[in-house]
């Protein structure tokens, strides 16, 4: 993101934004707003005039059409970058939760993550607070606005079991007894089956699976909500899941732990 990396570009955009949204005939007010010297502003304005980004009209600095287009391009790129990062950080202002007790519209509620579900309680303090948008009885859904803070909860762990592909023998090549022993030692909230081999194996183990589509995304989403997930599949699906987990961990301040088994 060049706008955030390059100080000269960010200063240029800030000056241009001030000129485009205000009325300036002198350098001092711009310098005060941006936090640089008058000489610094003068140097930037000189260069921007040469680039055709600004001009002087009736004694005031004005952004040109080219300047507005440049500003729009830079700000939209910044917005897109920030939107993606905010999405990965799970920063939200409004949400829906399950009422943990009787809730009245307009009252402050504390938000908690329980068994992968967001639960709101009136009268309970939490690291994340919001305001109820309507009345709700216990167990009903309730929309929440004006959210502040982050819901404190431990991220779930992902367990991955890599199975032989059909060409490698599928379930016939699996050590089912060993896999059963592994599964029984794990504390699991959700199970995902990446492919037909995983489905057949889970049926043999008499373990129902919770999801079979978009496994990598679903696994990460569940772990973010504090659920421990077991994902089974042959190498293709497991590698995709590991790649997705590592990508998430690179861009998120909160990391998802995972463990791979290849029995």
CATH number of 157-261: 3.40.1010
What digits encode the pLDDT tens for the residues 172-228? 999 999 999 999 999 999 999 999 999 999 999 999 999 999 999 999 999 999 999
CATH 1.10.10.10 range(s) for the chain read 2-88
Q: Give the CATH class of 2-88.
A: mainly alpha
Tell me what pLDDT residue 4 has.
83
Residues of the chain with pLDDT under 50: none
How far is 43 from 66, CA to CA, in rounded Å? 19
Residues of the chain with CATH 3.40.1010: 157-261
Q: What's residue 91's pLDDT? A: 61
- DSSP secondary structure string for all residues of the chain: -HHHH-HHHHHHHHHHHHHHHS-BSSHHHHHHHHTS-HHHHHHHHHHHHHTTSEEEETTEEEE-HHHHHHHHHHHHHHHHHHHHHHHHTT--S-EEEEESS-B-TT-EEEEEEETTEEEEEET---SEEEEESS-B-TTSEEEEEEEEE----PPPEEEEEEE--GGGTGGGGS-HHHHHHHHHHS--SEEEE-SHHHHHHHHHTT---SB-SSHHHHHHHHHHTT--EEEEEEHHHHHHHHHHHHHHHHH-SSPPEEEEE--
pTM of the complete model: 0.63
Q: Give buried/exposed letters for 212-227 (b at 16+ CB in 10 A, else e).
A: beebbebbbebbbbbb
């Amino acid at each position: 993101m060049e706008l955030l990396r390059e100080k000269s570009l960010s200063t240029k955009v800030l000056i241009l934004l001030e000129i485009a949204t205000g009325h300036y005939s002198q350098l001092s007010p711009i310098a005060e707003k941006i936090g640089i010297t008058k000489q610094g502003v003068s140097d930037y304005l000189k260069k921007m005039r040469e680039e055709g980004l600004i001009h002087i009209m009736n004694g005031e600095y004005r952004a040109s059409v080219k300047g507005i287009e440049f500003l729009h391009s830079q700000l939209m790129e910044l917005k897109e970058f920030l939107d993606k990062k905010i999405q990965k950080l799970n920063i939200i202002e409004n949400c829906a939760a399950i009422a943990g007790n009787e809730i009245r519209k307009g009252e402050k509620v504390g938000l908690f993550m329980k068994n992968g579900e967001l639960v709101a309680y009136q009268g309970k303090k939490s690291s994340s607070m919001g305001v109820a948008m309507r009345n709700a009885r216990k167990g009903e859904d309730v929309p929440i606005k004006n959210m502040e803070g982050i819901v404190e909860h431990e991220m779930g762990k992902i367990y991955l079991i890599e199975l032989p592909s059909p060409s490698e023998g599928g379930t016939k090549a699996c050590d089912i007894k060993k896999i059963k022993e592994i599964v029984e030692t794990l504390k699991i909230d959700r199970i995902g089956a990446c492919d037909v081999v995983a489905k057949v194996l889970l049926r043999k183990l008499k373990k129902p699976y919770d999801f079979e589509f978009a496994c990598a995304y679903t696994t990460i989403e569940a772990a973010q909500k504090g659920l421990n997930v077991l994902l089974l599949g042959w190498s293709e699906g497991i590698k995709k899941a590991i790649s997705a987990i590592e990508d998430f961990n690179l861009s998120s301040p909160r990391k998802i732990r995972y463990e791979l088994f290849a029995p």
